[in-house]
A and B are shown apart, each in its own frame.
Chain A
Amino acid sequence: MVSRRTAALIALAATLCMMLGLASAAHAFDEAKYPDLSGQWRRIGPDRWDGASNRDAPLTPEYRAIYEKTRKTEAGNMIADPMLTCQSPGMPRIMQAYQPMEIIVTPDTTHILIEHIHDSRRIHTDGRPWPGEVDPSFRGLSIGQWQDTDGDGRFDTLVAETRHFQGPRYFDGSGLPLHEDNKTVVRERISLDKSNPDILIDEITVTDSALTRPWTVTKSYRRDRTPVLVHRESVCADNTAHVAIGDEMYVVGPDGNLTPTRPGQPPPDLRYFPR
């Protein structure tokens, strides 16, 4: 039989341990709660939205016609790609991850950092509601929440929605277009592959007026765990020779002179220059 004094001592010890446990849980909790997304992530597959040819893209007839009329290179890439003059690819095209992606998880925000053009984005996980008025942007405004889908006490899936876009935007380098009304909604489910923690999956569903139905594709990225000493800077304006003058795209050649980008392209109109 346990004496009252002994029982009191045990209760005190138990209480102290519980308090310490809660304290340690509060501190360790944030880091342990989230998946390890450290390292650099590189896209698996070509620069095509469906990972292949986009042949079955559910475009409306109007936007199918626009897509087919897009001037392309032999490799099937649009000649007047706005990225060539350093326009942002915007969402969802940012998730083509044209350069390696770094992901920083904090309780309020998951930062996706990509050097390419202006592709970094934030997924706000601070519980904010959708605001009434938002300046549209190429990357949109993303609000999300982490979910524990397998009930193991740790978050494993980031569910995000992105709205409030401006354009023009395309799905990828082939020029597969999004509607000029910019009423796109992008929904994502981001998680590590359960059988390979060095594969990241982003299941992306796009709802857009250029599509006949919501369109879901799954993008995958491979983790490179090599410690990165230097994140290579990529300043688009420093790397591009393309210039846009009105609706025409030209290239500045190595000799500093303007050159056409297709046969028979007219030169720029010089009416504002003295003869």
Chain B
Amino acid sequence: MRGLLGLAAVAAMLAMATVDANADDASKYPDLKGVWNRVGAPRWDQQDRTYKNAPLTPEYRAIYEANVKDQEAGGQGTDPTYTCLSPGMPRIMNVYEPMEIVVTPDTTHILIEHIHDSRRIHTDGRPWTDNVEPSFRGYTIGQWEDTDGDGRYDTLIAETRFLKGPRSYDSTGLPFHVDNKTVIREKIYLDKSNPDLLYDEITVIDNALTRPWTVTRKYQRERTRFPIWRESLCAENNTHVAIGKDDYMVSADGLLMPTRKDQQPPDLRYFNQARK
């Protein structure tokens, strides 16, 4: 009897040691494998799509309205992505094309084909540093949290800083402040009753806003056995050509065209030949 108890104790100790060493990264994190598609239109605020109630300062309300008029006249307004500039953060989380999420202990990779939308959320415990080159996607540090105390992580909290512009929230051109001092906070988690629904609660702090602005984006998982990630190259079929501050287009026959009525052609001062 004592022998049996002794062996059982040893086995139990081995078991605990083994599980602790190997209750490893894969089991600690939520299962985020698969193809994630955006739910709803790629509009920042799904409920207020004309942004009547967006908390813009008076100055940026005026910029937004001028942008709307420009877009109505055929221009691009304050939406900079027509020449394949990155949408940047937080607009990347409109998830214009299917998203893949790869969780490793040090980094959660968010991979999206669209333009240059992939990003990293660093979860390696690094501190914030001052010396970061600004970028469209910014620099993101986060940590996984176990909010329900079940021993497994369920929520990724992330903050993004060091952004550059120009950026807008979506194709309406809803603008960010030119100072690019945007801070973005995210809470990313699965729906507790539907593990194929993912939420990203995104709070934006920006000097074009009168207050922090929170929206919740939703994504639906597609559990395809062998997903095909369709390549999406913005530059491949992009007919927009930016020359200086002007936007032109290239026609199907390879010729330069105006994008609005009475638009002047580009200055050809550096060419010797007479205009055709």
Which residue numbers of A lie inside 8 Å of B, CB to CB?
5-6, 9, 12-13, 16-17, 20, 23-24, 27-28, 30-31, 85-88, 104, 106, 108, 111, 113, 118, 120, 122, 124, 126, 128, 131, 134-135, 137-139, 141, 229-238, 243-247, 252-253, 255-260, 264-274
Query: A260 and B271 in contact (CB under 8 A), knowing A111-B102, A235-B85?
Result: yes
A155 to B266, CA, bound (A): 58
Using known A-B contacts A24-B21, A24-B22, A233-B135, determine if residue A273 contacts B265 with beta carbons closer than 8 Å. yes
Question: Is B242 positioned at the interface, with any CB of A under 8 Å from its CB?
Answer: yes
Q: For residue A28, which residues in chain B have a CB less than 8 angstroms away from its CB?
A: 21-22, 24
Contact A118 B3 (CB under 8 A): no
Residues of A contacting B270 with CB < 8 Å? 253, 257-260
Query: Judging by beta carbons under 8 Å apart, are A252 and B133 in contact?
Result: no
Residues of chain B whose beta carbon lies under 8 Å from any beta carbon of chain A: 3-4, 7, 10-11, 14-15, 18-19, 21-24, 26-27, 33, 83-86, 102, 104, 109, 111, 115-116, 118, 120, 126, 129, 132-133, 135-137, 139, 225-226, 228-231, 233-236, 241-245, 250-251, 253-258, 262-273, 275-276
A residues in contact with B228, CB < 8 Å: 131, 134-135, 141
Nearest 7 CB-CB pairings of A with B: A256-B244, A246-B254, A27-B22, A137-B231, A233-B135, A86-B235, A267-B271
Q: Write the nearest CB–CB distance from B112 to chain A, whole angstroms.
A: 11
Docked complex Cα distance between A88 and B226 (Å) = 24
> Contact: B104 with A104, CB < 8 Å?
yes
Query: When A128-B226, A271-B255, A272-B251 are in contact, do A118 and B231 touch as well, CB less than 8 Å?
Result: yes
Additional A-B contact list (18), CB under 8 Å, known A86-B235, A245-B254: A20-B15, A27-B22, A27-B23, A27-B24, A88-B231, A104-B104, A113-B109, A128-B225, A138-B231, A235-B136, A236-B235, A243-B243, A256-B243, A257-B244, A257-B267, A264-B272, A270-B265, A273-B257
Q: For A124, what are the chain B residues with a Cβ–Cβ distance below 8 Å?
A: 226
Q: Which residues of B contact A260 (CB under 8 A)?
A: 270-271
Question: With A134-B228, A233-B136 as given contacts, are A87 and B233 in contact (CB-CB < 8 Å)?
Answer: yes
- CB pair B256–A23 under 8 Å, yes or no, is no
The complex places the Cα of A19 from the Cα of B263 at a distance, in Å, of 76
The docked-state distance in angstroms from the alpha carbon of A252 to that of B21 is 58
Listed by A's residue number, 18 A-B pairs whose Cβ atoms lie within 8 Å are: A5-B3, A9-B3, A24-B18, A86-B84, A86-B235, A87-B236, A88-B231, A88-B235, A134-B228, A236-B116, A237-B86, A246-B253, A257-B243, A257-B269, A257-B270, A267-B273, A269-B255, A272-B256
